[in-house]
Structure 1
Amino acid sequence: MDPKISYFQTFLVAAKTKSFSKAAKKLGVTQGTVSNHIAALEKFFDAQLFLRTPEGVDLTPEGKILYEHSEKILDYINNAKQQMRILHEHPEGTIRVAASTTPGEHILPSIIREYRKEFKDVDFEITITDSEKCFKMLEEGSADIAAVGHLYDKNYDYVVIGKDRLVLIVPPNHPLAKKGVATLSDILKEDYIDREKGSGTREVIINALQDRGYSIMDLHVVMSLGSTSSVITAVSEGYGISIISEIAAKKAAEAGLVKIVPVEDLDLTRYLYLVKGKRPKNPSAVKSFWDFVSE
């Protein structure tokens, strides 16, 4: 069995005090523990390290070699611990984030801005994709953290970073815009612009439809698009209607691109999550950011 760091510490104290009993007293252990540590080192190095004398113990030539290197080993370890402690207090480097559209474009920027007021040496590399691919990136180790609108895998640590409501958007001159309210039956009659498979938004819609006894197949899907912005563009140009995050919809509505129409009989609320990967490339920075968000 390889010796532990504590064995080298025991060896150094025994060498300096020239006594196993004095070393035991100084270390707060039994003399038998000191003897066991020294015996383990002698077995590992296949060398006698101490000579017993009437006054106590003296180092052998082999023991003197180990003494010199043991001090260096412990110095290196203590220096490494000190540098790690400093890094924990002042993290630096890059955090790789995989984010779905809504949290990535509308929630994360403000969180990161506040975090970087305190930790200026941490940068963020953000990849915008769908929620399902975010989890794949965590699994592959190509992302340290994910920000998503749907939990595809609950075997990760996660924290809620926001609450979102999905809303129906229609072209400004659409009949439903004039009506001012919609029902599920209205939506089922219209050309529908869907998000791509793997989208957290799409999963919320699927679940809401299932609660009403329907499936995504009951929608008249005319196209599937890979981002909220592309859906907004398609709706504004009259290709159909869609359901997207209220956060993004409000901005588009204020710009006059679409109209938001409340849906009376669908529950379209959801939470937005930050999910921590199991193998972060920069553990100190990730822990710092995670603690900041979790406070």
Structure 2
Amino acid sequence: MDPKISYFKTFLITAKTKSFSKAAKELGITQGTVSNHISALEKYFDAQLFIRTPEGVELTPEGQILYESARKILELITSTKQRIKSLHQYPEGTVQMAASTTPGEHILPGIIKDYRREYRDVDFQVEITNSKRCFELLERGSVDVVAVGYLYNRDYDYLIIGKDRLVLIVPPNHRLGREGRATLSHIMKEDYIDREEGSGTREVLIRGLNERGYSMMDLNVVMRLGSSSSIITAVSEGSGVSIISEIPARKAVEAGLVKIVPVEDLDLTRYLYLVKGRKLSNPSAVRSLWEFLEG
């Protein structure tokens, strides 16, 4: 059996005190334990390490060689522990992330900005994609953390970083915008602009429709686009209506691009999540980010 680190410490203290009993007292262990540690080292190195003298014990030539090496081993271990501890306190390097559109474009930048006020040596590489691909990247270990609007897999550690509501947007001059209200039956009569498969927004909508006895087949989908911004552009140009996150929708309303219309029989509220992977390329930085967000 390979020797434990504690055996080397016992060996060094015994060599310093030149006594098994004194070494035991200094280490707070029994003399028998000291003997066992030394015997294990002698068996491992196949050498006698001490000789007995009237005054106690002395190192053999083999023991002297081990003494010099053991000091370096323990010094290296201590130095390594200090460096790791320092890295935990002052993380550095890059955190690889992926994020779906809404948290990636509207929530994550603020989180990163606040975090980097305290941890200036950590930077972030963020890929914007859909929620499903975020989880695929997480599973492969390609990213450390993902920010998503839908949990495709709840087996990971995650934090809630926001709350969002999905809303119906229509062109500024649209009939539903003038009326100021809509129902699902109204939406099903309109050309509908859908998000791509794998989108968290789309999954939340599917779930909401299913709970009310409908499906995506009941919508007149005329195109599928890969981001909220592209959908806003299409809606503003009169290509159809859509349901997207309220966060970018509000900004589009302020810019005069679209109108938000309340849907009386459809309330779609969701949480936004930060999800931590299992194969971390920068565990110290990810741990500090988690602790920062947990407060």
Structure 2 residue matching 1:285: 3-state secondary structure: helix
Is 2:267 the partner of 1:267? yes
Structure 1 residue 232 displacement after superposition? 0.9
Q: How does 1:156-235 map to 2 (within 5 A)?
A: 156-235=156-235
State the identity as a percent.
72
The one-letter code sitting in structure 1 at the alignment partner of 2:146 is A
Structure 1 residue 87 displacement after superposition? 1.3
Cross-structure match for 2:48: 48
Structure 1 residue 46 displacement after superposition? 1.7
Structure 1 residue 54 displacement after superposition? 2.9
Q: How does 1:27-66 map to 2 (within 5 A)?
A: 27-66=27-66
Structure 2 residue matching 1:189: 3-state secondary structure: coil
Dislocated runs of 4+, deviation >4 Å? none
The one-letter code sitting in structure 2 at the alignment partner of 1:98 is A
Structure 1 gap segments, 5+ residues each: none
- So what's the TM-score if we normalise by structure 1? 0.97
Cross-structure match for 1:2: 2
Cross-structure match for 1:150: 150
Structure 1 residue 135 displacement after superposition? 1.1
Is 2:126 the partner of 1:126? yes
The one-letter code sitting in structure 2 at the alignment partner of 1:247 is I
The one-letter code sitting in structure 2 at the alignment partner of 1:237 is E
Cα offsets for 1:132-181 (capped at 9, x unmatched): 11111111111111111011111111110000001001111111111111
Cross-structure match for 1:80: 80
Structure 1 residue matching 2:97: 3-state secondary structure: strand
Q: C-alpha separation between the residues in 2 aligned to 1:98 and 1:124?
A: 10
Name the count of aligned residue pairs: 295
Structure 1 residue 281 displacement after superposition? 0.7
Q: C-alpha separation between the residues in 1 aligned to 2:41 and 2:217?
A: 70
Structure 2 residue matching 1:166: 3-state secondary structure: strand
Cross-structure match for 1:98: 98
Cross-structure match for 1:286: 286
Cross-structure match for 1:113: 113
Q: C-alpha separation between the residues in 2 aligned to 1:190 and 1:40?
A: 81
The one-letter code sitting in structure 2 at the alignment partner of 1:246 is E
53-62 vs 18-27, greater mean Cα deviation: 53-62
Cα offsets for 1:98-150 (capped at 9, x unmatched): 11111111111111111111111111111101111111111111111111101
Structure 1 residue 182 displacement after superposition? 0.8
Structure 1 residue 219 displacement after superposition? 1.3
Cross-structure match for 1:26: 26
The one-letter code sitting in structure 1 at the alignment partner of 2:104 is G
Structure 1 residue 18 displacement after superposition? 1.1
Cross-structure match for 1:253: 253
Structure 2 residue matching 1:97: 3-state secondary structure: strand
Aligned CA RMSD, in angstroms, stands at: 1.0
The one-letter code sitting in structure 1 at the alignment partner of 2:143 is A
Structure 1 residue 53 displacement after superposition? 2.4
Q: C-alpha separation between the residues in 2 aligned to 1:109 and 1:252?
A: 19
